[in-house]
Structure 1
């Protein structure tokens, strides 16, 4: 019997380039024809995909080093989890396999097998693989190299990367983990549920003053997803030999007056110099080669109950056009995932 495959695909497209921050009206759910997989291609039915702030930069189109940009009429893309419906005989994938890939924002995807990574049988929480935790793990183990007894500061701690990275820092030996968040409610969750010792709240007073109280002796490691005032404060609080990993630039990315591809900050370079602070820029797929190592450690930590990957779930692709706006507004804790 010849297998029957879907003939249509629903996908989220950019309608028009926004003048400022994207709104739900910037996107549309469109249905169109789905090409049947070729002899060397895999067909996947997506189960979920990640909503991530970097989309704002890709839509802005001003980032010269972007792997791709998204213009009017283009389908959005990003991390997704799916199930294989069809695959070439003799290839690495079989129907029924769970896979991760970068063809999210649609309910079906067709590509060559190399575009998909098979999820190990029995992995305890496949949706956790949509979290950008690999980037945080790589930064903490390779760039910042967390040591026993370190004081670690994670900015943007309530987001997809921050909620996981704070836990990882503790598992790697950090003595004190401090975060920043956009509300007192998020700060409470981070301290009560995710092991943060203290959380600085944006808008509750100068970040520098809050940080001086939370870490009177300074910080050894910074994992920065925000930039701006928070990076300024972290530099001022750096201990001698501190290691900084800059992963995100939310202060600039989510500024309606900017295009999402710059994030100015005032930094005391004299402090960086005299305290021998190292600063690493970490972007995109910097630690892609660590994926097997990360998956193995994540599997173990999940099974042992030592780490959880929180998420805000939006049910149904119909909610996807408004998802990025919800993320920008801060209406999320952990990873924001659209489940299909």
Structure 2
């Protein structure tokens, strides 16, 4: 079988030479274990930090020579456990590999009939739901701004705000095609291209009453503009800072100037989502319900080409080439 390992820690722009595709023996399951075929890999912009030796994430970065990690869904192809049968759909954290093995309890079973496709289990919804519902507590009457709204988290966060009763949801993105996508397909009330003039001007035009919730995936200028355009007492859920994740360790995560935010009584709420069973269950329940009620769209791209396509897919994701969530089909 094949797996993808880290060839070198990232110090500049990400390229496919950061990864090695390595052939290794297919593992054999021991007593109580299962052999799982990886069907789909999920990709995330958070992987950018995991590729760095000086990662600022609250989990250890990947080491050179280590298999790239991350979530996936797969199928049990051999079982030495009464807990799982051949053919069962499971979640796996084994990472970028064609097959993996381990104790059955490390592979939570999934309902194959709950969603239209197994890739729905790879959405970044737990992060979006936790941040929008539990951190920002968006609800009836809120005016919500989502930065990086066409990405995997943002495209879900905006829809979650709408489902929770927000009065207006505004998104920022990097092209006219993505703006049209947010408004025409995902139901955002308005969207703008952050390249097209000062962000603050857009926010003042689209939300003259002031934004009350900001779900920030980007940081930088968009955070500063959101502070200026916020209503007193607004809640800011800080999910990421993609605009600043370049350069040296100190430059990638500059501390935001919170003086203006404090003066307006803005609650600045950085958060991390650890995909606990409770967080995943809460998202899965609401996601499946909203889909069945036709209140929600799952924005996603499936990259073909097998495991060897994963490195380039991640490079393309970080360049903004996709809309919504991105997964790689590993098994043909």
Please state which band the TM-score falls in when normalised by the shorter chain: over 0.9
Partner of residue 109, structure 1: 100
Partner of residue 325, structure 2: 335
Partner of residue 258, structure 1: 248
1:170-200 superposed Cα distances (whole Å, 9 cap, x missing partner): 0000110001111111111111100111112
1:222-275 superposed Cα distances (whole Å, 9 cap, x missing partner): 11111111111111122122111111111122x2x23599322543x3332233
SS of the residue 1:72 aligns to: coil
Partner of residue 240, structure 1: 232
Mean Cα deviation higher: 280-289 or 139-148 = 280-289
Query: Does residue 156 of the first structure (1) align with residue 145 of the second (2)?
Result: no
**In 1, Cα distance between equivalents of 2:146 and 2:29:** 43
**In 2, Cα distance between equivalents of 1:68 and 1:40:** 29
Pick from 261, 268, 272: which aligns with 1:272?
261
CA contact under 8 A between 1:63 and 1:261: conserved in structure 2? no
Query: Does residue 301 of the first structure (1) align with residue 290 of the second (2)?
Result: yes
TM-score (normalizing by structure 1): 0.91
Partner of residue 217, structure 2: 225
Deviation at 1:111, TM superposition (A): 2.3
Query: Does residue 202 of the first structure (1) align with residue 194 of the second (2)?
Result: yes
Deviation at 1:324, TM superposition (A): 1.7
CA contact under 8 A between 1:310 and 1:335: conserved in structure 2? yes
Deviation at 1:327, TM superposition (A): 1.1
Partner of residue 6, structure 1: none
The total of aligned residue pairs comes to 328
Pick from 179, 183, 190: which aligns with 1:191?
183
Pick from 39, 44, 48: which aligns with 1:52?
44
1:146-183 superposed Cα distances (whole Å, 9 cap, x missing partner): 12110011111011111111111100001100011111
TM-score (normalizing by structure 2): 0.93
Q: CA RMSD in A?
A: 1.9
Mark the runs of 5 or more structure 1 residues left unpaired by the alignment. 1-8
Partner of residue 119, structure 1: 110
Mark the runs of 5 or more structure 2 residues left unpaired by the alignment. none
1:37-77 superposed Cα distances (whole Å, 9 cap, x missing partner): 12132221111111211111111121255423112211111
Mean Cα deviation higher: 68-77 or 281-290 = 281-290
Alignment of 1:19-38 (within 5 A): 19-38=11-30
